[in-house]
Amino acid sequence: MMRGPAVSGGAADVREEDEMSRRTFASIAALVSLANGVPGLIAPAALASLYGVTADSQTALAGQLLAGSYIGYGVINWTTRRCTDAALCRGIDAGNLVAWTVGAVIWIYAASTGMSNTVGWFGAALAVVFTLGWAYFVIADRAIGSRVLSGAPR
């Protein structure tokens, strides 16, 4: 069920089949973000040790700040998973794309240079998967947005 002033077939709103797959992806992203954020907030040193990293107090603090960001992304994605406004979806998708892309680059660097153990490659793979997913939705939302612009009266 779509919320808001969506008009059936209206170009300004995300089409229902696009919204359904975006909703599923945003829900999964929210759950993964929360699953990574909550342990990092509660026990940053223990989580770091899972990746073969020794965390001193400053590293643990930085990890908790990162965990807070993950929790924030999770909340944003969960609460906007039923977004029907194309412009709003584009902004949320682009923000997620940037965050996951930067994370993927850092994870790949850390795993490839030995800064983490082999579990670090799992983090890298997860970040790449979400980067590709959000890239898809940025492109899909851009296509919807271009239909809005081309169909607008002058």
More confidently predicted of 82 and 20? 82
What is the average pLDDT score of the chain? 85
Where along the chain do its domains lie?
Answer: 16-149
Averaged pLDDT, 20-29: 90
pLDDT for position 35: 96
pTM of the model: 0.79
* Structure-model confidence comparison of residues 64 and 152, the more confident one: 64
pLDDT digits (tens, 9 = 90+) for 67-80: 999 999 999 999 99
Helix (H), strand (E), coil (C) string for the chain: CCCCCCCCCCCCECCHHHHHHHHHHHHHHHHHHHHHHHHHHHCHHHHHHHCCCCCCHHHHHHHHHHHHHHHHHHHHHHHCCCCCEHHHHHHHHHHHHHHHHHHHHHHHHHHHCCCCCCHHHHHHHHHHHHHHHHHHHHHHHHHHHHHHHHHCCC
Residue predicted with more confidence, 116 or 15? 116
pLDDT band at 153 (very low <50, low <70, confident <90, very high): low
pLDDT score of 86:
87
What pLDDT does 145 receive? 59
pLDDT in tens, 85-144: 988 999 999 999 999 999 999 999 999 999 999 999 999 999 999 999 999 999 987 776
Residue 146 reports pLDDT greater than 90: no
